[in-house]
Structure 1
Amino acid sequence: MKPLDVEAVQAFLMVAELKSFTRAAELMDSTQSAISLKIKRLEEGVGRRLLERTPRLVRLSAAGTAFLEPARQFVAAHEGAVASFGDKPRRLVVGISHHVVGSELPGMLRQLGRSASGLQIDMRVASSADLLDAFDRGLLDVAIVLRHDNRRLDGEVILEETFGWMAAPDFDWQRNAPLRLAAQAAPCSVRQMAVDALGEAGIAWTEVFVGGGLMTVGAAASAGLAVAALGQRVAPRDTVDVGTRLGLPPLPSRDVVLYATATDAQARSALRALRAALRATAA
């Protein structure tokens, strides 16, 4: 067996995590063909097929599954050896909107850690309005938020978030009673978007659950307590969009926008990881 090439192993890990050669290439600041070549040579070196590829799917083979954890340990050992000569870690303060990141946060942080191992990440989750204010005051290096209006058109659009009326599959609403709603506390812009849509449609509503973040609002929807306006990409997997069934008004989509002031190499690597991780959840 040939000695392992660390960049090829890193490419394998990225594709395994993101299930996409395109996203892995974006994360590693490379091209899809270059990533494919690295993995082909890695497979030739170990004498095993590590990834199964179809036009719509990339998944681990049995050999790839067995290789996954040793590959992680191999890359971690390499990064640890390199870091032993490093200076004090660069600190990067990142803010992400409640409504942008959901259950994929651990995977996103894992990818971020691998792509920017020399960084100290300070992660903050809050409302889009609060994050933009903190970014403008120089308290954040990076802000990833929802764009709710045309008052501010700068920043980089990462993806388009589609919203739905998310609830438990058996959630029911009697038309002679107000619609039970779960939302974050005012002045949350997604909450306002939801109540504006209900108001324009002439639908009475009552707020039965007020959460402190997407996870708590999503939990209320999963529990059948209420319906919640949530991004379909980040809504709990055991919820469904009941809007059509219940005759609720359609909700507008929103751009997810990235703002950044950091331009050094470490920060650029971290930003590539964030973009790729978020875009992968929309695939």
Structure 2
Amino acid sequence: MNEAAKALDLETVQAFVLIADLGSFTRAAEVMETSQAAISLKLKRLEERLGCRLVERTPRHVRLSGEGGRFLPAARDLLTAHELALAGIGASPRRRLALGISDHVAGPELPQLLSRLNAYDPSLVIEVRIAASSYLLERFGHNAFDAVIIRRGEEGGDGERLFAEQFCWFAAPFFQYRAGEPLKLATLAAPCGIRAVAIKALDEAGISWTEAFVGGGVLALGAAVNAGLAVAALARRVAPAGAIDVGERFGLPPLPALDIVLLTRQTDRRSREMLKVIAAAFRGAAGL
């Protein structure tokens, strides 16, 4: 029997799927709770078993080879079949994971992220709600969510720290502001925590301000910024394309880096595994 005909090791297949979905050996290692070197070894063993290169790796990017792209659907099917076997004969019941994500955390990569998560575990129905951190934390306390990804408040608190998000003052390149005039702000409606942080920083610096635009979401803030209506306090990752950091130009006070955390409650094994994938994916989106 040649090498390719032998049974595949499921852990090597899982490592490959995670590398494909997360685009990172480091993130795949986080999910599997092992080292990056161990993930590289698992992939090497799988490639040797299949007799082809599955992943093209450069210092800055990880992408599938042609063979890797063709093998990925079969790899997913193999892992799904394994889960069905563990669950018993017949179709596995679809499970639900209610996930809340802070508006200031859900960046432009979210649709692609959710697509990857759905492909990783088709039996898990992920229900996502985008809202303010304060709302999500309150509803999480009332068991409305299985997990939330939110900004950690000044009071600290529990949760797995995913990364620190740097906030800055963003505006359109042509936006005009003269010192001494009220700074035109684009904000989310109170009680948005980022609004409170921005206003506190301006007040402490003695800079007058006025809310020129109050939106219902970060996308709306981005539209107001690009239209030249106002300045917005936004994380670099979610700032609209074309907007620039005008903090130094306008003499605005620096904004802090705020911790983004994942809060979860006990769920089934597959849901816990999916939450590890979600945490790793957000770290990857933050460039970590």
CA distance in 2, matches of 1:156, 1:48: 35
Aligned residues of 1:182 and 1:221 also touching (Cα < 8 A): yes
CA distance in 1, matches of 2:157, 2:257: 16
The residue that corresponds to 1:174 in the other structure is: 178
Structure 1 residues 241 and 182 mapped into 2: Cα distance closer, same or farther (>3 Å)? Answer: same
1:194 maps to which of 171, 194, 198: 198
Give matches, 1:209-248, under 5 Å.
209-248=213-252
Aligned residues of 2:97 and 2:146 also touching (Cα < 8 A): yes
Percent identical across equivalent pairs?
44
1:48 maps to which of 50, 53, 64: 53
The one-letter amino acid of 2:166's match is: T
The residue that corresponds to 2:152 in the other structure is: 147
Q: CA deviation at 1:52?
A: 2.3
The residue that corresponds to 1:254 in the other structure is: 258
The residue that corresponds to 1:206 in the other structure is: 210
Structure 1 residues 76 and 47 mapped into 2: Cα distance closer, same or farther (>3 Å)? Answer: closer
Q: What is the TM-score with the length of structure 1 in the denominator?
A: 0.87
The residue that corresponds to 1:105 in the other structure is: 110
Q: CA deviation at 1:229?
A: 0.4
CA distance in 2, matches of 1:10, 1:50: 14
Aligned residues of 2:52 and 2:67 also touching (Cα < 8 A): no
Query: How many equivalent pairs are there?
Result: 277
Q: Which one has more relative contact order, counting CA pairs under 8 Å at least 6 apart?
A: 1
The one-letter amino acid of 2:91's match is: G
Q: CA deviation at 1:29?
A: 3.8
CA distance in 1, matches of 2:47, 2:122: 26
Q: CA deviation at 1:255?
A: 1.2
Structure 1 residues 90 and 48 mapped into 2: Cα distance closer, same or farther (>3 Å)? Answer: closer
Aligned residues of 1:164 and 1:230 also touching (Cα < 8 A): yes
Structure 2: runs of 5 or more not aligned? none
Q: CA deviation at 1:100?
A: 1.2
Aligned residues of 1:115 and 1:269 also touching (Cα < 8 A): no
The residue that corresponds to 1:120 in the other structure is: 125
Structure 1 residues 67 and 168 mapped into 2: Cα distance closer, same or farther (>3 Å)? Answer: farther
The residue that corresponds to 2:141 in the other structure is: 136
Q: CA deviation at 1:279?
A: 0.7
Structure 1: runs of 5 or more not aligned? none
Q: What is the TM-score with the length of structure 2 in the denominator?
A: 0.85
Is 1:74 paired with 2:74? yes
The one-letter amino acid of 1:225's match is: L
1:156 maps to which of 141, 160, 176: 160
CA distance in 2, matches of 1:260, 1:49: 34
Structure 1 residues 10 and 58 mapped into 2: Cα distance closer, same or farther (>3 Å)? Answer: farther
The residue that corresponds to 1:58 in the other structure is: 61
1:14 maps to which of 15, 18, 29: 18
The one-letter amino acid of 1:197's match is: A
* 169-178 or 259-268, which deviates more: 169-178
CA distance in 2, matches of 1:9, 1:59: 17
CA distance in 1, matches of 2:43, 2:241: 32
CA distance in 1, matches of 2:172, 2:11: 44
Structure 1 residues 70 and 222 mapped into 2: Cα distance closer, same or farther (>3 Å)? Answer: farther
